């Protein structure tokens, strides 16, 4: 009884602490995260290959000018459960990039067309060059951006998601950030070269200019060419880039749950059979 009360008290303290942390951040940053319905959400969700291809097009034509994806190889674009590009399409995409290689027989580095085994290169030679081109802001690598977390309270990320209304990562956050640019409200000033965004978690002002707008990227499948659609598509693609095996893990989890249910039934039946003649 004492142990039970102690556990309940501990959970109550954790809950209050997490809620207080969420309220404190809300007061400090006025963060607005717009929740979205995703095809890959839930235990039976799957990625939409057409949406991933559109999202990749947005990434290549807009985001790749500042953000690389060092952990995503071109050949991954043809993996099962992903965008569904063919091997020939992947080779053609990779060949459009210039990749530094070497040294050659003279000890010099050289540039060559990309191969399917290459990763998406960073657009800048180093961090200093990146900062010099972006008002001293460093454009992060996009490989795992959809899994990034910024939890100042020190509590585990899953508790933040359960007990507060803020999901500070994932496709919801990316979508909200891309669509969250606004004129600063009265009395609010942002620094030179910064832009006001209602979804940015670090003070509502960031150095990235609004990267998307209606009509920026041409779709060939008839999908609306709007800011909201671009943002959804690229957010879904970045989620796939961060979790390319998500569908496989869900399938494995489903099999495991079915096994556990069947195993529990067999154990219960065996217990009833073995102890049927024993008085309780």
Percent of the chain topping pLDDT 70: 81
Question: Which range of residues forms the domain containing residue 230?
Answer: 2-68+122-244
Does residue 94 lie within any of the structural domains?
Answer: no
Does residue 32 lie within any of the structural domains?
Answer: yes
Q: Which residue has the higher pLDDT, 24 or 85?
A: 85
Backbone angles phi, psi at 112, to 5 degrees: -145, 160
Give me the CATH number covering residue 177: 1.10.760.10
pLDDT at 38 exceeding the cut of 80: yes
Task: Say what the pLDDT of residue 228 is.
Answer: 97
What is the per-residue pLDDT across 121-171, written as a single tens digit (0 to 9) for each?
A: 999 989 999 998 888 889 999 999 998 754 333 444 444 444 333 334 589
Question: CB of 204 within 8 A of CB of 46?
Answer: no
For the chain, what is the domain count?
1
Task: Tell me the whole-structure pTM to 2 decimals.
Answer: 0.78
Q: How far is CA 9 from CA 150, 160, 199, in A?
A: 27, 19, 34
Q: What value, to the nearest 5°, has the Cα angle with vertex 79 and ends 77 and 83?
A: 50
Does residue 196 lie within any of the structural domains?
Answer: yes
Over range 24-38, report the average pLDDT: 68
Rg of the chain, C-alpha, whole Å: 24
Does residue 104 lie within any of the structural domains?
Answer: no
Does residue 135 lie within any of the structural domains?
Answer: yes
Over range 234-238, report the average pLDDT: 96
Does residue 100 lie within any of the structural domains?
Answer: no
Residue 276: strand, helix, or coil: coil
Does residue 79 lie within any of the structural domains?
Answer: no
Does residue 93 lie within any of the structural domains?
Answer: no
Residue 227: strand, helix, or coil: helix
């Amino acid at each position: 009884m004492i142990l039970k009360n102690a556990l309940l008290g501990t959970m109550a303290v954790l809950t209050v602490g997490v809620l207080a942390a969420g309220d404190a951040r809300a007061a400090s940053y006025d963060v607005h995260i717009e929740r979205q319905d995703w095809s890959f959400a839930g235990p039976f969700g799957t990625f939409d290959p057409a949406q991933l291809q559109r999202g990749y097009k947005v990434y290549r034509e807009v985001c790749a000018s500042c953000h690389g994806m060092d952990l995503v190889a071109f050949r991954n674009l043809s993996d099962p459960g992903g965008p569904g590009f063919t091997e020939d399409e992947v080779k053609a995409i990779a060949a459009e990039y210039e990749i530094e290689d070497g040294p050659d027989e003279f000890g010099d580095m050289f540039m060559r067309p990309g191969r399917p085994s290459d990763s998406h290169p960073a657009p800048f030679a180093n961090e200093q060059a990146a900062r010099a081109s972006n008002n001293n802001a460093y454009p992060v690598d996009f490989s795992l951006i959809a899994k990034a977390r910024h939890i100042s309270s020190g509590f585990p990320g899953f508790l933040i998601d359960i007990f507060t209304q803020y999901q500070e990562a994932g496709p919801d956050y990316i979508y909200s950030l891309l669509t969250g640019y606004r004129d600063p409200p009265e009395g609010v000033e942002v620094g030179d070269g910064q832009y006001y965004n209602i979804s940015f978690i670090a003070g509502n002002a960031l150095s990235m200019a609004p990267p998307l707008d209606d009509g920026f990227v041409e779709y060939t499948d008839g999908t609306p060419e709007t800011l909201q659609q671009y943002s959804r598509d690229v957010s879904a693609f970045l989620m796939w880039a961060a979790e390319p095996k998500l569908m496989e893990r869900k399938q494995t989890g489903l099999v495991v749950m079915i096994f556990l249910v069947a195993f529990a039934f067999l154990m219960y039946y065996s217990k009833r059979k073995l102890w049927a003649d024993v008085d309780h």
